[in-house]
Amino acid sequence: MIASKHLVTIKGVKDGLIFLLNDECEFSSLLEELNHKLENTHQKFLTGPIIHVHVKLGKRIVSDEEEQSIRESIRQRGNLLIQSVDSDLPEKERDPNDPCKTLKVMSGMIRSGQTVHYDGNLMYMGDVNPGGTISASGDLYIMGALRGMAHAGTEGNRNAVIAASYLKPTQLRIAGVISRPPDEWELSDAAMEFAYLNEDMMHIDKIYHLGRIRPDAVEFKGE
């Protein structure tokens, strides 16, 4: 354990905790300090109601196995629920052969008052309940019911799309264009649909038309 330099910094924020992980040390040292703090110095976080955790990797590139090690260390500690594991590294500098860097997959349930954001393309495996918010700087794909608020293209990407297995949101937003029900989709059956912009107007269509509107919407660099 390197005592002279903090490898893991835990900060409290409005919606939970942020874990700031040093991006210059060996991963084994990082994981060791993470476990040490969770087991010995931050016990007060491990009791009471569920606390949502956002993990910040800095400019570190982690493998699937390393990310899973981080998730397991935090997940095993009582009431800590991971909402995101993000890197500050520009997309173009990440491993282009890793599909997880092209499309981030998260899972869970976003309840009223909760917010999940990812810098990039995000696939969320779960429901977004009324009062919950999900956002991404790229595309949003929700494998569940979207009944809350969704914002794609948060940094101004007007080509971003929002897709959901069940699309009945309280609000949709792509870049700076906001659309609210019922005007845009009250006649829709809501199943397997996506939202996109065309000439500054938001449109709703069936997911099977996504390839026609955005043939490059998701690039899988698969096996």
**What's the confidence (pLDDT) of residue 87?**
79
What average pLDDT does the segment 191-218 reach?
81
**What's the confidence (pLDDT) of residue 219?**
47
Provide the pairing of β-strand 8-13 with 16-21. Answer: antiparallel
Q: Specify the length of the chain in residues.
A: 223
Phi, psi of 41, deg, nearest 5: -115, -5
Top-confidence range, 139-148, 192-201, 209-218: 139-148
pTM, to two decimals:
0.54
Residue type at position 96 = P
Sheet of 191-198, strand order = 103-107, 121-125, 140-146, 162-167, 191-198, 201-206
**What's the confidence (pLDDT) of residue 64?**
74
pLDDT (tens digit, 9 = 90+) per residue, 139-157? 999 999 999 999 999 888 8
**What's the confidence (pLDDT) of residue 220?**
42
| Contacts for 196 with CB less than 8 Å, ≥ 6 apart | 161, 162, 174, 202, 203, 205, 213, 214
**What's the confidence (pLDDT) of residue 53?**
87
Lowest mean pLDDT among 71-80, 89-98, 147-156, 194-203: 89-98
Percent of the chain scoring above 70 in pLDDT: 78
What average pLDDT does the segment 41-59 reach?
77
What average pLDDT does the segment 55-81 reach?
84
Average pLDDT, the chain: 81
Outline where the chain has alpha helix (H). Answer: 27-36, 64-75, 99-102, 210-213
Considering only residues 209 and 166, tell me which one the structure prediction assigns the higher pLDDT: 166
d(CA 105, CA 128) in angstroms, rounded, equals: 15
Torsion angle, alpha carbons of 178, 181, 193, 137, to 10: 20
DSSP line for 28-83: HHHHHHHHHIIIII-GGGGSSS-EEEEEE-TT----HHHHHHHHHHHHTSTTEEEE
d(CA 87, CA 134) in angstroms, rounded, equals: 18
What average pLDDT does the segment 199-210 reach?
85
Is the pLDDT score of 98 beyond 50? no
pLDDT (tens digit, 9 = 90+) per residue, 103-143? 889 999 999 999 999 988 999 999 999 999 999 988 999 99
Is the pLDDT score of 57 beyond 80? yes
What domains, with CATH codes, occur in the chain?
Answer: 1-89 (3.30.750), 97-223 (2.160.20.70)
